[in-house]
Amino acid sequence: MKSNFSKILDSEIPVLIDFYADWCGPCKMLAPILKEVKEELGEKVKIVKIDVDKNQELASKYQVRGVPTMILFKKGEQKWRQSGVLSKEEIKKKISALH
């Protein structure tokens, strides 16, 4: 997972990482919003969901203290980070700013 994860983050296309947990209510609210973002932006973004309980090392590496936490990367560089649930429009705006 780790070497693949670095390759994913190095993408020219913005990569939105969604750190979530199955037991987290707000994470369940965010999931359909991210699905709509992906449907609307298509190939302009990659969205990767990371379960913090199954990937504690990654969550720790990125200092994820609460879920959901979204981190947006482009070419391996962190461009934006936000905890909590945001609207589809807010998320799309952040992604589109990187194009």
Nearest to 52 by CA among 18, 78, 2: 18
3 state SS of 64: coil
Hunting for tokens 């589809």 — which residue is that? 88
What is the token pair recorded at 83?
């905890």
Q: Catalytic amino acids?
A: 24, 27
Nearest to 83 by CA among 20, 13, 35: 20
What is the token pair recorded at 40?
């609307």
